[in-house]
Amino acid sequence: MRIRTSAGVCVLAFLGILLCSGAAWAQTTGSIRGTVKDQSGAVVPGAQITATLLGTDTVRMATSDKDGAFEIVELPVGHYQVTVASAGFKNFIVKDLAVDIGHVALVAATLAVGGSTETVTVEANAVQVETTSTQIGAVMNDLSIRELPLSTRNTYELLQLQPGVQSQVGADLFTAAATRASYRSMAAAAGRITTW
């Protein structure tokens, strides 16, 4: 009886470690990083930065450091409204800032002198060059996947559209044999054995 209990505890401990390590490998968050300056270009330390996830009202806050820099890490993916406030300045608001998996969204807040009841609103631009990370990647939403002109409706063709993907099998990333092998291995991994 004692051996069974020990074996059960070991199995539960192993499963717990396995589940925790799997969660650590999967990155499902992004971050917002930026600087706060006044109109003359001087940094504004101690500014309050608030990031609100649109649609859920989830709020994360940060304070700019002595160099006017701030970072809010491990944010759930989505669109945010970022508000920057400091005494003696108008509030600075960035609307609809996209935070994607593994990427850093940049905010360059320029505060104008005025009362805190006044605001300067900026619309987030869709195109940003990633200058803070050497990671190459792309996020494709369901609309972009549906609208892509895939001739064979093979979702593996989407890999060719990702940055840094290179073909190892000539000009085409997937030959007919490689595609069948991929399908077979995918089906086997899912518990089905189906050959196309």
| Range of weakest confidence among 19-23, 113-117, 150-154 | 19-23
d(CA 70, CA 183) in angstroms, rounded, equals 46
CA distances from 166 to 148, 169, 171 (A): 20, 9, 9
Q: Are residues 185 and 105 in the same domain?
A: no
Decide if 22 is inside a domain.
no
Q: Are residues 155 and 119 in the same domain?
A: no
Interval 130-182: pLDDT, tens:
666 666 666 666 776 777 776 666 666 776 777 666 656 545 544 444 444 44
**Sign of the alpha-carbon dihedral angle for 166, 172, 174, 175:** negative
The predicted model gives 24-49 an average pLDDT of: 88
Decide if 134 is inside a domain.
no
Decide if 9 is inside a domain.
no
Residue with more model confidence, 149 or 21:
149
Would you state the structure tokens that stand for residue 84, as one six-digit string? 């920057």
Query: Taking a C-beta distance cutoff of 8 angstroms, is the pair 37, 44 a contact?
Result: yes
Q: Are residues 67 and 116 in the same domain?
A: yes
- pTM, 2 dp: 0.58
Q: Are residues 34 and 118 in the same domain?
A: yes
Strand partners of residue 89: 113
Decide if 69 is inside a domain.
yes
d(CA 194, CA 185) in angstroms, rounded, equals 9
Interval 68-110: pLDDT, tens:
999 999 999 999 999 999 999 999 999 999 998 888 999 999 9
Domain count, the chain: 2
Q: Are residues 39 and 113 in the same domain?
A: yes
Burial status of residue 53 (CB atoms within 10 A of its CB: 0-12, 13-18, 19 or more): middle
- Tell me which residue of 114, 37, 103 sits closest to 70, measured CA to CA: 37
User: Cβ contacts of residue 177 below 8 Å, gap of 6+?
Assistant: none
Which CATH number characterizes residue 70's domain? 2.60.40.1120
Decide if 17 is inside a domain.
no
Task: Pick the last residue of a domain from 69, 88, 123.
Answer: 123
Q: Are residues 35 and 101 in the same domain?
A: yes
Residue-number span of the structural domain to which 159 is assigned: 142-189
Q: Are residues 36 and 96 in the same domain?
A: yes
Decide if 149 is inside a domain.
yes
Residue 49 carries which side chain, given as an amino acid letter? I
Decide if 137 is inside a domain.
no
